[in-house]
Structure 1
Amino acid sequence: MDIASGFRDGPRAVPLPPTGVLVVSLVLVLALVISSVQTSKNEPWTLPNWRGVPVLGNTIQYMVDNGSFITRASLAMRTRDMIKFSLGLTPVYLVTGSRNVQALFRKSNSLSSDKFLLMVMETVMCFTPEDYAKFANDKTGRLPEPMEGTAAKHQGPRYWAEFHHHNARNLSLASNTAALTAKFYDIFRERVRVYPLGEWTTVNLLYFMRTQMAGAAIKAMAGERFLERSGEENVLDAFWDYDTVTMRLMYSLPKWMDPAPWRIRERFHRMGIEWLKDDFDPLSERDHVPDEIDWHPVLGLRFMRGYLNWGKRIGLGIDTRAGYFIGFLLG
């Protein structure tokens, strides 16, 4: 099944693959039994299944017409603080309002932003099972001192604390954000010089932003070599395809039922791996690039260099490092 399209055309709805139809048919046999189960009075309002299809209606629409599903859920949230629906066998809750979100995390001993990040790491950022386990098993928290009762049981680096410290320290530095802004401005300014001053020119604004502006942003963060390896047009095509499937990756059906998002992810991920393996790591090991250099044509922005070298220093594999690299580019 090919759900995604090129970045010029936008998403489109497609039919389910034969395996998906088979599974849907088998599950619908149990629909009357499952749908007759009464929910708790404390459960929030449930989003009706798409087109009245029992059990898997919302899942099917989420897969084949994600934009319409999000619109339908958003309309339902206009008059409600919380709604519930299922994706496959997974219950999903949408909560709105800062008070409700704060109360949700304040009253729960099990909810934390770490769980959301772990979902992203496992599906969107391509973490290997071994590296994913390092974060999942680290219960010491993000503060400089480990959470009470966790230090004795923990072995190895404190992954969450280092992850938080590295990102918070670097992203909060005005010099880093200023360097990114300045480099993007320089690159983008060169790209718009093809349009002479004083002459009228008609451009497709959306296409211009998704090509010239996005290309300038990626070059400012990762350097020019990343774009040169596969060609800027191919990189951007893979980037925007990847952008269309991130939510489906996070709340996905099994890979064998809906393989298209995973193929799309792997295409962009492979570009990151090849750049790290053949360009970034060899140059980082061979030549010492001073921290004072804000931007390097092969290694990219100073923050990006530090982010990728940090992962290598604590023992994360190249697949994982390439995964959080492409995730960072996506934002």
Structure 2
Amino acid sequence: MESINCSFDNLRELVDGHYAPRGLLIIVLCVTVLVVLTLHLKAVSEPRALADPIPFIFNTIQFVTDNERFMHRVSKALEKANSARFYLGWKEVYLLAGPRNIQTIFGRLHDKIGNEDIMVRSVLPNLYRMSKDEVKRFADDHSGRGRLPAPGTENITADQRYWRAYEHYHTEYLVRTNHLKPMIEFFRCQFSSALERRYPVDEWTTISVMDLCRSEITECAISTLFGPSIFELNPGLLDAFWAFDANLFTLTLGFPAWLNPRPYRIRDRYYAMIGKYLDAAWSKFDWNGPSAEVFWEPLFGARVCREIVKWLKDDGFQAEAAAGALGMLLMAQNSNSIPTTMWMIMEITKDPSLLQAIRDEVATAHKTDLETGALMIDSDKLVTLPLLQSVFTEVLRMHINFNIIRHVKEPIAMKGFVIGKGSMLQVPMLVPHYDESVWGVEGHPAKEFWAGRHLKYVEDTDESGSVSRKLAYSMAGRSNSFFPFGGGQFICPGRHFAKYEILTTIALVVSKFDIEFIEWTKLDGSPSDRPARNDARYCGAGAMPPDRDMKIRWKRIS
């Protein structure tokens, strides 16, 4: 208001001093009033801005260095309205919540919003290590990811549709059942054998849940995706992977290497190992032999790996980009699934009644191998078990935490305001996942884990016509408040394998072992006076691992 008063004072001086014709001054006065009213109406109609004590700087620094505190402020703001805004550097960011806004973002606006901007600015050069010329190929491609080019880009040739190819190779070879099933079966065999080799029958062993997940389970998952030779070539791969995982958020933000070189050194060490595996597989693989069409083989591992590499090499991308693509594929496979597995084991183990209920339910998914007579797990039935699915969903709801990011390519109208081209949208997962009005149940607030939150009783009629009540998994009416894998056109293609992998792990653990909880420990191994919480250091980066470890003792049963 001070600046507006100054403007009127200046006009008064002009009139009183006869410095300009009165008619012109009246016009200027009217225009000034119109501008002031327009700015006022814009401020009223737009989402409320987050407080920024040092404009453009404070919120940016807090977003980067203390994301947990920043997101706490965002949650408070979005409790009062379903939208807010702030500046991340010089970029205007709109924060959106509420089922209606989320449905809009994931639905009809796919031609006006996308994630290509952040991919081009940060992910492709920093995480895929693409050269400027390689990144430019993606930047110049406006044809979209759909089967048909976007309107106005119909003349683009198929080999120039880089976004479409990126989408195709990840979706085709990670989602389709004929590619998914061999990966699941290989993982089951690998992990089952690893448990039997390490833990003798009827011997109690004390272990760390975190160590189990970050070592044996991760190694089996990587061997499933890349084949076992990657560990023969790189004995230190697990350490390099988890170091890279810890620095992924910093690398994604794209700060230059001269400002903070350590994350880039960690990245380069990790990618050098991926490159070593890639060189060995490429040199030995027979592209004209029978292995070219199989779903899994020991050199490249799962078919998705060799198909992505072949696409990039055939299109003239450098070896660094191919290693970057596979390094990020490996990261996508494990960065969220391993912490989720930790939480599931911890939640199930600390509650003996839940452990027994899960064990009983998993037993209904056992089957006998017709050739060997061995007891096996029916994976398709396993992933439909209601209690197991409910625990899985509850862990995802409570521990997956990142902002879904979209770049606005064309102005879009939201309820009561318009978001301009070039703005950024962020949908904070933390807000809907903890919404008390959606998830809260008497005695079981949304902030607390409850294994039965996603269960209901339904009537079941058997062949004789008898009616009984049975438990069923249900997410009815809450899908727009739960999106741990993203949503819409950009939903994670690896979500199906992640679910199978995690639930297979839980099934093997509860089936093969008697398990007893011992204690919670700090990450250094010393006793803890409290259970695990989300590790705040990973806020905004995906799955938040526990900030405490759990010691258990278990005995493999015959």
- TM-score by length of structure 2 reads 0.47
Q: Distance in 2 between matches of 1:306 and 1:300?
A: 11
For residues 245-297 of structure 1, give each alpha carbon's deviation from its aligned partner in whole angstroms, at most 9, with x where no partner exists: 333323344443333333332222222223223x1221236773524543322
Instruction: Tell me how far apart the structure 2 counterparts of residues 152 and 162 of structure 1 sit (CA, whole Å).
Output: 16
Q: 2:136 aligns with which of 127, 133, 158?
A: 133
Q: Which residue does the alignment assign to 2:247?
A: 245
Unpaired runs of 5+ residues, structure 2, are 1-39, 333-558
Query: Does 2:327 match 1:323?
Result: no
Q: CA deviation at 1:209?
A: 0.5
Give the stretch that moved more between structures: 100-109 or 212-221: 100-109
Alpha-carbon deviations, 1:109-167, whole Å to 9, x = none?
Answer: 64224335444323333222222111111122233333333243669532222222333
Q: 147-156 or 93-102: which moved more?
A: 147-156
Q: Structure 1 residue 321: deviation in Å?
A: 1.1
Match of 2:166 in 1: 163
The answer on whether the counterparts of 1:140 and 1:154 sit within 8 Å (CA) in structure 2 is no
Change (3 A) 1:137 1:184: same
Mean Cα deviation higher: 85-94 or 221-230? 85-94
| 1:123-272 pair list within 5 angstroms | 123-152=126-155, 156-193=159-196, 194-231=198-235, 234-272=236-274
Q: CA deviation at 1:55?
A: 4.1
The yes-or-no answer on 1:81 pairing with 2:82 is yes
Following superposition, the deviation at residue 78 of structure 1 comes to 4.7
Distance 2:128 2:214 in 1: 22
The aligned residue for residue 307 of structure 2 is 306
Q: Note the C-alpha offset of 1:206.
A: 1.5
Superposition pairs for residues 25-174 of structure 1, below 5 Å?
40-49=43-52, 55-70=56-71, 72-74=73-75, 76-104=77-105, 106=108, 110-118=112-120, 119-152=122-155, 156-174=159-177
Specify the SS of the correspondent of 1:201. strand
Residues 149-195 of structure 1 show CA distances to partners (whole Å, capped at 9, x for unaligned) of 32436695322222223333222321211111111111111221211
Give identity over the alignment, percent: 28
Q: CA 1:161–1:54 in structure 2 vs 1: closer, same or farther (change >3 Å)?
A: closer
Structure 1 residue 214, shift from structure 2 partner: 0.9
AA aligned to 2:113 is L
**Any conservation in 1 of the 2:56–2:88 contact (CA below 8 Å)?**
no
Cα RMSD between the aligned structures? 3.1
* Cα distance between partner residues in 1 of 2:263 and 2:63: 13
Q: d(CA) in 2 for partners of 1:85 and 1:256?
A: 28
Could you tell me how far apart the structure 2 residues matched to 1:247 and 1:219 are? Answer: 25
What residue identity is the alignment partner of 2:61?
A: I
Residues 83 and 229 from structure 1, CA distance in 2 versus in 1: closer, same or farther, beyond 3 angstroms? Answer: farther
Is 1:248–1:261's contact at 8 Å kept on the other side of the alignment? Answer: yes
Q: Which residue is equivalent to 2:470?
A: none
Relative to structure 2, which stretch is displaced further, 122-131 or 209-218? 122-131
Amino acid in the other structure paired with 1:220: T
Structure 2 residue identity aligned to 1:85? F
Q: Name the CA shift for 1:197/1:328 in 2 (closer, same or farther; >3 Å).
A: same
**What is the CA–CA distance in structure 2 between the aligned matches of 1:204 and 1:71, rounded to whole Å?**
31
Q: How many residues align?
A: 290
Return the index of the structure with the highest Cα Rg: 2
In structure 2, distance between residues paired with 1:75 and 1:289: 58
Distance 2:75 2:271 in 1: 31
SS at match of 2:204: coil
CA distance in 1, matches of 2:330, 2:275: 14
Matches of 1:137 and 1:261 in 2, distance apart?
Answer: 29
Structure 1 residues 214-263: Cα deviation after superposition (integer angstroms, max 9, x where no partner) = 111011101112222221xx212221222223333233444433333333
Q: Does 1:282 align with 2:286?
A: no
CA distance in structure 1 between the aligned counterparts of 2:206 and 2:73, rounded to whole angstroms: 35
Cα gap change, 1:177 to 1:326, in 2 (>3 Å): same
Letter in 1 for 2:47: P
Distance 1:160 1:87 in 2: 26
What letter is aligned with 1:137? Answer: D
The secondary structure found in structure 2 opposite 1:250 is: helix
1:81-120 deviation line (CA, Å, top 9, x unaligned): 2333333333333323443134347468642243354443
Q: CA deviation at 1:71?
A: 5.0
Question: What amino acid maps onto 1:150 in structure 2?
Answer: T
For 2:271 and 2:78, locate their aligned partners in 1 and report how far apart those are by CA, in whole Å. Answer: 35
> What's the CA shift for 1:329?
0.8
Normalising by structure 1, we get a TM-score of 0.75
Deviation track 1:12-69 (CA, whole Å, cap 9, x = no partner) reads xxxxxxxxxxxxxxxxxxxxxxxxxx994444333445xx666433333444444554
**Kept after mapping to 2: 8 A contact 1:126/1:319:** yes
Q: Does the 8 A contact of 2:285 with 2:299 survive in 1?
A: no
User: Is the 8 Å Cα contact of residues 138 and 154 (structure 1) preserved in structure 2?
Assistant: no
